[in-house]
A = this chain, B = another copy of it.
Amino acid sequence: MNEFDTIKNFFSWSETGTGLEKSVGDDCAILNVNNDASVVTSMDTLVEGIHFTKDTKPEDIAYKALAVNLSDIAAMGANPRFFTLSLTIPEINPSWLQKFSESLKALSNSFNVRLIGGDTTKGPLNVSISIFGEVKKGLALQRSGAMAGDLIFISGELGDAAMAYKGLKINDSTLLRLNRPSPRIELGQRLTPVATSCIDISDGLYQDLGHILSMSRVGCKIDLEKLPMSDDVKDYVDSSSNWCVPFAGGDDYELCFTAPKSMRNKVEDISSELNLPLTCIGEITKDIKFTVKGGSVEECYSYQHF
């Protein structure tokens, strides 16, 4: 049983209803608070030894804890507003806390999102953030809207974070992608009138695109040769013939989204305006299958928390 089975088996009893548009099973829940706006909310936790190593710097832990939550807001096309922080720490180390807090503050300022509360407790290091964003009612991007014929796009590049995490290539640029992912907030917002579905890639393209497929009840055909990759990742794939790093590595925090073919020009415009590559890697099919060409991915499996 993996994380998703656990959620499905034990924590999926809630039904949508008054004031709740979307519940367990997307990047964020959607709360309808008035006639014009929805609040989207998500909660993501980083645990020492699982999501970061014991020697990860406090400033990187703080950055990533907030960035992965911002990434969920980005995947909904929403505007981040507030967050709460639950920080479990083994001891009060003022120098550690100072660096953690400064980094958190800097990132929160740069996205204009405010810390409004939380909890501080003693115990093994565990950083949990609960985040709130807002989006015009009806415009939130969800995992469930992909249609046969839609094109599948990826922002940025895939695989660098996994190269660093797995110790395959540790250099400044792969470590930066592992420790300091860029939340694609502006992209998400620009995509609300364009994309039919969207998710952020935290557990790897294979697994996360899989969520779009299952929620939308569709399949896909993708071409590995089209995956956007840095030179480091390209070199690794060329020398190893192993596609798992970009295909299923995880920790990318790029957006994977679908859009009708008629929107291709619009997607290209957004890419130019944001100076961010948006690469078409394949298309959605009516046939409920995950079809991959351009290489073998049978040995790949995505990140499993357990």
Residue A114 at the B interface, CB < 8 A? yes
**A105 to B29, Cβ gap below 8 A?**
no
Q: Could you give, for residues 214-254 of chain A, a 1 whenever the CB lies within 8 Å of some chain B CB and a 0 otherwise? A: 00000000000000000000000000000000000000000
**A31 to B82, Cβ gap below 8 A?**
yes
Name the distance in Å between A57's Cβ and chain B's nearest Cβ: 16
CB contact between A33 and one of B1, B37, B46, B98 (< 8 Å): that residue = B37
Q: Could you give, for residues 9-36 of chain A, a 1 whenever the CB lies within 8 Å of some chain B CB and a 0 otherwise? A: 1110110010110011010110101100
**A119 to B115, Cβ gap below 8 A?**
no
CB contact between A121 and one of B14, B51, B82, B98 (< 8 Å): that residue = B51
Q: Which residues of B contact A306 (CB under 8 A)?
A: 91-92, 122
- 28 A–B pairs (Cβ distance < 8 Å), ordered by A: A1-B92, A3-B120, A6-B120, A11-B120, A14-B115, A14-B116, A19-B81, A23-B114, A26-B117, A33-B33, A33-B34, A33-B37, A41-B84, A41-B132, A42-B84, A43-B84, A43-B86, A43-B119, A45-B128, A47-B126, A48-B123, A86-B128, A91-B306, A123-B124, A123-B126, A124-B124, A124-B126, A126-B128
Number of residues in A with C-beta < 8 Å to the partner?
64
Q: Which residues of B contact A45 (CB under 8 A)?
A: 86, 88, 119, 121, 126, 128
Name the distance in Å between A266's Cβ and chain B's nearest Cβ: 30
Q: Which residues of B contact A19 (CB under 8 A)?
A: 81
Residue A60 at the B interface, CB < 8 A? no
**B43 to A122, Cβ gap below 8 A?**
no
With A and B bound together, what is the CA distance between A115 and B43 in angstroms? 12
Q: Which residues of B contact A34 (CB under 8 A)?
A: 33-34
Q: Which residues of B contact A117 (CB under 8 A)?
A: 23-24, 26, 28-29, 41-43
Q: Which residues of B contact A132 (CB under 8 A)?
A: 31, 41
With A and B bound together, what is the CA distance between A142 and B172 in angstroms? 48
